[in-house]
Structure 1
Amino acid sequence: MTTPCRELADYEKLPDQVRNTVEGLRRDGFEEPSPLFRCLVAEPTDGDVKVNGPALVGFALCYITYSTWKGRALYMEDLYVMPQYRGKGVGSQLLTAVAEMCLSLGCCHLQFSVLDWNDLAISFYHSRGAKDLSQAEGWRMFRLLPDDLHRMVSAHPKSGTAEP
């Protein structure tokens, strides 16, 4: 699965951001008593299999999150299809499988983010009924990186109330 992950980072123009390892993916998603994520994969069909060809042609990685207003939700971190398999329904099948998982888990919604320059992905999701919350509701996504977290923690005394 590392090849599709690396390809996704390259496609999103963020190849230097990949820090996870095969061991990390295996531990967090497949060996934990309570996996931190769920991963759906698309494998090549018999007609697509070539000698030394890809074992996976796409994947969708998601995890349970929570809305204080609505309850359990599903966040799709990634949906990726290898370039030579795009336009063949693989992405639609993966997204449909994620939608089925979302419904079967009793989630209130499926949420994900898309880079603003990725017009193909934006069009793909819009055509399936997805709403752009940055336009529709004005939500903006924020992130604190480890340096920011360390700076925050060191600048404020421990409150003793946070639990892992």
Structure 2
Amino acid sequence: MDVTEERVARTIHFEDEDLPLSLLPKRFAWCLLIVAPEGDVAGLAIFLYNYAAWSGEPGLYLEELYVVPKYRSRGYAMQLIEAMAKEGQKAGCVKIEWVCLKRNARALAFYSKMGGQVREDWALLYVDEAGIQKLAASSKGSQ
């Protein structure tokens, strides 16, 4: 996408009154647990609410989806994602985003089957703790 100031001005359609803040939970992160019939916690999903920068619409970011190995292939991951989607739907969310290791073929197949799409046009970027310290130390801005 060729981004210019003019293109950005035409693309963004975000108004303060568009924010359904009253619908969004006040917590930073949410954790869903699924319990197996045996009584053990079989898996979890940790997610956050966010916004689509270009439209101002709310979305979800799936930070972690994990099912204990002995409980895999029982549908628990899908149940967790479905429960998360229901929570997002209540808040008017229009998207769910997450990352997955490219080498995790099993997870990628699962996500594809449930409707997940790989975004080839985006790169995952990362700054570690040392990088954060370096950036913060070199800050010329006001505190």
Structure 2: runs of 5+ lacking an equivalent: 1-25
1:57-96 mapped onto 2 (5 Å cutoff): 57-70=42-55, 71-96=57-82
Q: Deviations over 1:32-83 (max 9, x none)?
A: xx422011110122xx24xxxx3x1100000111221132110000111111
Q: Deviations over 1:97-152 (max 9, x none)?
A: 1111111111120000001111111000000111101x2xx101111222112212
Q: TM-score, normalised by structure 2?
A: 0.76
1:1-164 mapped onto 2 (5 Å cutoff): 34-45=26-37, 48-49=38-39, 54=40, 56-70=41-55, 71-133=57-119, 135=120, 138-160=121-143
Percent of pairs identical after alignment?
26
Q: What amino acid is the match of 2:75?
A: G
Structure 1: runs of 5+ lacking an equivalent: 1-33
Runs of 4+ in 1 over 3 A off after TM superposition: none
Which protein, 1 or 2, shows the higher relative CO under an 8 Å CA cutoff with sep ≥ 6? 2
Distance 1:35 1:99 in 2: 17
CA RMSD of aligned residues (A): 1.6
Give the number of equivalent residue pairs.
118
Q: TM-score, normalised by structure 1?
A: 0.67
